[in-house]
Homo-oligomer: A and B are copies of this chain.
Amino acid sequence: MKEEKRFREMIKKMKAYRYALSLIGWDSNTEAPRNAFKRRSTMTAYLSKELFLMQTAKDYQEVVNILYEKYEDLDDLLQREIKKAKRDLDKVINIPENEYVEYTKLINDTQIVWEDAKANNDFASFKENLEKIVEYNKKFALYYDKLANPYDTLLEDYEEGMATKEYDFFFDSLKKELVPFVKEILKKTNDKYEELNKTSFPKRGQKEFSEYLLEVFSFNKKSGLIKESVHPFTWNTSPEDVRFTTKYMENYIFSSIYSTIHELGHATYEQQISTSYDDTLLNGGTSMGIHESQSRFYENNIGRSLAFWETHFDKFKEIFPEQVKGYNPIDMYKACNRVQTSLIRIEADELTYSMHIMIRYDIERMLFSNEIEVKDLPKVWNDKMEEYLGVRPTNDTEGVLQDVHWSVGMFGYFPTYALGSAYSAQIYYAMKKELNIDNLIRENKIKVINEWLKDKLHKYGSSKTPKELMEMITKEKFNPKYYIKYLKEKYSNIYN
């Protein structure tokens, strides 16, 4: 089929540009010197423009549309690919070239603006850029579908099949079932493990433990690496080049441990995808929610289990003998699962985590339905924090400025974090039917868990939808009840 060959060649070429832009992003987020941003911004604008021209070129449109018309004649994989291509095309086709280039430049320039604003607790200096970013996102969503709620369009970008209707149901379940439970637990929490969270753990030792974790989780270092950045993230261009970052805080040991394990979840997913998708649109994880289910699974279901600390406490103690004097594995388990009202999402415990997401979901929903404006964000943020978590940030650094997402134009992304945790609980109960998870952790055989996930989920890349995958793995539709059940079981147990 002639069009298929043309389509394939075009995709490959676009991938080369995405590869370059992606590597520039990796560099910019992990090591590029500060003053490099000016040159980078100019150069990136050129490359983005070229990519944009290809993505919107008449001959590309033609090829995609021809194949889309022949949809029924295509094989399954090509069907899925063309469906994605068609959506991506329709998303971008109506954006005027200059707006696209300006937006890309804006996002690049905003990085340093946000970093400075966060460092200096100065929301005002970030406000103008954020307003522009929000406006562009609304505009772009309406270009795609002028009748739809712009926020629904954005939500669907990150998670196929999930829009406000579905998320409202999901978050309402959590509000109903979880918020009262969280309030009960918060009454019972005590400061017994507060000290551990304040002890100084030298960075060198933390790095050593992170390196050890790479072995424990069987991360393939020939096809990846670990580095540092302000906000931990995973990056990949193929299953043979998967990198991630972590963050070392001397006075908060669990930050680097659970950032590392969390990103190891994302990275393991990417490393285990079949390389046969590399030159197609079906490479990479299938959705943000499914991706997050993997990072949360590794972080929480494995990393925050008692079995984990029973197995790895000796190594931890070897590196930090002074710091953990008098502690045992059960203490570590309780300390890393200590529930408290944290200000910072990425430092939140597993139980209160989804409260942080609900705040962001509420805010994004209101922002995109024009109920609030960007200038209102600091106050609305703090009000919501009080409502769901009972604390009020005293500055924006620990409030509305804490996350990178909005500064890079990611609206509709946050809800997938909570969704991912809920997916992971459902996957956890499915896995338990086939594997003795705790025993595998105790026998240092996490590789077996990796293999199970590879076979059931990872290897498929984006060739299946989130919905298809959840049904294949768990034999039923996504259901938030498993998440609620899992959290109630775990925390009732810890807090009696």
Contact = CB atoms under 8 A, between A and B. Distances in A.
Contact of A35 (B43, B44, B241): B241
Given A20-B24, A35-B240, A39-B241, 8 more contacts: A16-B42, A16-B46, A20-B20, A31-B227, A33-B225, A34-B223, A36-B237, A39-B240
Contacts of A240: 33, 35-36, 38-39
Contacts of A127: none
10 contacts: A16-B43, A20-B23, A20-B24, A23-B23, A27-B27, A33-B222, A33-B241, A36-B240, A38-B238, A38-B240
Interface in A205-230: 220-225, 227
Interface residues of A, number: 40
A481 interface: no
B39 A225 contact: no
Interface of A: 12-13, 15-17, 19-21, 23-24, 26-27, 31-36, 38-40, 42-44, 46-47, 50, 220-225, 227, 237-238, 240-241, 243, 278
A222 B15 contact: no
A413 B227 CA distance: 34
Contacts of A12: 42, 46
B16 A223 contact: no
B23 A39 contact: no
B13 A46 contact: yes
Nearest to A19: B43
A241 B15 contact: no
Contacts of A238: 36, 38-39
A42 B42 CA distance: 25
Contacts of A35: 220, 222-223, 240-241
A382 to B, nearest CB: 34
A477 B26 CA distance: 46
B46 A223 contact: no
Contacts of A227: 31
CB-CB nearest 10 A-B residue pairs: A16-B46, A36-B241, A20-B20, A35-B240, A19-B43, A39-B238, A35-B223, A16-B43, A34-B222, A35-B222
B32 A241 contact: yes
A20 B33 contact: no
A16 B75 CA distance: 38
A16 B47 contact: yes
Contacts of A15: 43, 46
A362 to B, nearest CB: 39
A100 to B, nearest CB: 16
A243 B31 CA distance: 10
Contact of A19 (B26, B31, B38, B39): B39
A365 B401 CA distance: 62
Contact of A36 (B21, B46, B223): B223
A94 to B, nearest CB: 25
Contacts of A237: 36, 39, 43
Given A20-B24, A38-B240, A225 B31 contact: yes
A283 to B, nearest CB: 10
B224 A33 contact: yes
The CB with the most chain B CB atoms within 10 A, among A24, A50, A240, is that of: A240
Contacts of A33: 221-225, 240-241, 243
A228 B47 CA distance: 29
A208 to B, nearest CB: 13
Nearest to A30: B31
A215 to B, nearest CB: 16
A327 to B, nearest CB: 29
A356 to B, nearest CB: 33
Contacts of A23: 20, 23-24, 27
